[in-house]
């Protein structure tokens, strides 16, 4: 089973776009997305220096656009991708790239969303001097306790002994002077405390923009940074993208869900390397591939052929499906039988996993076509629980 993942801010390096411009149509597509974003992405990806592309308003559109366009080189058409990719995920702003790859958003919608996201986050970061620091190694419980004690937020939990603390520069200075036992401290070159309450003003801005964005349901198992759950409904995906700006990234849980789904191969879109490195530590036995230049495409195609399997979500648009968000035990709450019409957002049941309860809902409602999971059954993430037919259509 194949997963395609998209990196987030901080993965960019000067000139990383240069080799891709030798690919026919690549420059034209980058220029078009740059027009949508209001940036000269070709220049920033080729000649701009490290300080320039570190700017949030440049880094985020640049990374996302290269990921989107390179994906078209690997999968020239949507049908081909659905026959080979089962799982999609992205780290932080990479979630937007992944949502676009899953056709929840169009490329143009994604670029506008990223542009406004980056600008709003930069504005929020300018209000208070904040930053982020990687805490490497140490005892996980001790690291989290120290971060909380100092008033910081564990903004990224990346697994493999890597947790990123975020907060004010004064709070981070105290952390640097008093690191958890056995841990190393590495300040990150970012503009603010992303994925913390310091970004709350940006969430308000994006929530207003999201009201005008139309979505499609994902046709692959799309994972949420919030808790690693599978998200299928397009409107829910968009809500998660808005909310995640001020909430921690749980990449460790995303990797666990990929393991639970049965992923055997993971390919990282450019600028690749960070997520593949985390996977090597956090996903033992899973083969990884970093797609960084056009020269990697032939080998990437072979990698896809080796691990690719069709998506399990095949019933749209005639049917809608409700999926299990995570691995656990399904408790059925809805007692309705086949043929019953459900209202929008009807709670069908819950999944119990590791002491937590995850809701299972039918966002669009519809008539029940078939129950696929029994009450009390063990379910895997992305497993089909019920098929629904839109209520407006005749049986």
Rounded to an integer, what distance in angstroms lies between the CA atom of residue 167 and that of residue 141?
A: 19
Length reported for the chain: 395
Q: For the segment 75-85, what is each residue's pLDDT rounded down to a tens digit? A: 987 677 878 99
Report pTM: 0.90
CATH of residue 351's domain is 2.40.50.100
Q: At what angle do helices 56-74 and 26-37 cross, to 10 degrees?
A: 140
| Contact call for residues 230 and 323 (beta carbons, < 8 A) | yes
- Which candidate, 190, 209, 247, places its Cα nearest to that of 115? 209
Residue 395, in any domain of the structure: no
pLDDT of residue 291: 98
Residue 314, in any domain of the structure: no
Residues that are catalytic: 92, 195
Residue 361, in any domain of the structure: yes
Q: What is the mean pLDDT of the chain?
A: 93
Radius of gyration (C-alpha) of the chain in whole angstroms: 21
Residue 229, in any domain of the structure: yes
Q: For the segment 95-153, what is each residue's pLDDT rounded down to a tens digit? A: 999 999 999 999 999 999 999 999 999 999 999 999 999 999 999 999 999 999 999 99
Last residue of a domain, one of 253, 275, 307: 307
CATH of residue 182's domain is 3.30.70.250
| Contact call for residues 102 and 88 (beta carbons, < 8 A) | yes
Helix ranges (DSSP H) in the chain: 26-37, 41-46, 50-54, 56-74, 78-82, 94-101, 107-127, 140-149, 169-177, 200-210, 234-243, 251-261, 274-282, 297-307
Q: For the segment 223-249, what is each residue's pLDDT rounded down to a tens digit? A: 999 999 999 899 999 999 999 999 999
Judge residue 241's burial from the number of C-beta atoms within 10 Å of its C-beta, 0-12 exposed, 13-18 middle, 19 or more buried.
Answer: buried
The count of domains in the chain is 3
């Amino acid at each position: 089973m194949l997963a395609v993942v998209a990196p987030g801010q901080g993965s960019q390096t000067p000139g990383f776009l240069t080799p891709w411009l030798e690919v026919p149509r690549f420059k034209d597509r980058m220029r078009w997305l740059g027009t949508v974003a209001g940036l000269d992405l070709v220049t920033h990806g080729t000649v701009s220096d490290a300080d320039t592309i570190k700017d949030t308003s440049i880094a985020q559109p640049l990374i996302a656009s290269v990921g989107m366009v390179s994906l078209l080189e690997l999968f020239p058409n949507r049908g081909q991708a659905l026959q080979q990719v089962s799982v999609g995920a992205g780290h932080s702003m990479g979630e937007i790239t992944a949502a676009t790859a899953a056709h929840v958003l169009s490329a143009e919608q994604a670029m506008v969303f990223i542009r406004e996201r980056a600008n709003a986050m930069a504005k929020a970061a300018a209000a208070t001097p904040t930053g982020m620091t990687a805490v490497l190694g140490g005892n996980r419980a001790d690291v989290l306790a120290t971060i909380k004690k100092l008033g910081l937020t564990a903004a990224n939990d990346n697994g493999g002994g890597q947790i990123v603390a975020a907060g004010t520069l004064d709070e981070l200075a105290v952390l640097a002077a008093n690191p958890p036992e056995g841990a190393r401290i590495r300040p990150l070159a970012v503009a603010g405390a992303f994925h913390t309450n310091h970004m709350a003003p940006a969430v308000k801005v994006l929530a207003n923009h999201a009201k005008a964005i139309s979505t499609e349901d994902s046709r692959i198992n799309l994972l949420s940074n919030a808790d690693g759950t599978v998200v299928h409904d397009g409107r829910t995906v968009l809500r998660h993208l808005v909310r995640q700006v001020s909430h921690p990234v749980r990449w460790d849980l995303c990797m666990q869900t990929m393991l639970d789904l049965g992923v055997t191969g993971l390919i990282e879109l450019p600028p690749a390397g960070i997520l593949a490195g985390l996977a090597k530590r956090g996903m033992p036995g899973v083969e990884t591939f970093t797609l960084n230049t056009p020269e990697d495409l032939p080998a990437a195609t072979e990698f896809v052929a080796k691990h690719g399997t069709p998506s399990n979500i095949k019933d749209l648009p005639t049917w809608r499906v409700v999926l299990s968000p995570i691995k656990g035990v399904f408790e059925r709450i809805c007692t309705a039988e086949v043929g019953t019409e459900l209202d929008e957002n009807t709670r069908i049941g819950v999944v119990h996993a590791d002491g937590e309860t995850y809701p299972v809902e039918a966002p669009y409602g519809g008539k029940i076509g078939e129950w696929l999971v029994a009450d009390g059954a063990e379910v895997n993430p992305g497993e089909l629980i019920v098929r629904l037919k839109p209520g407006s259509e005749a049986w």
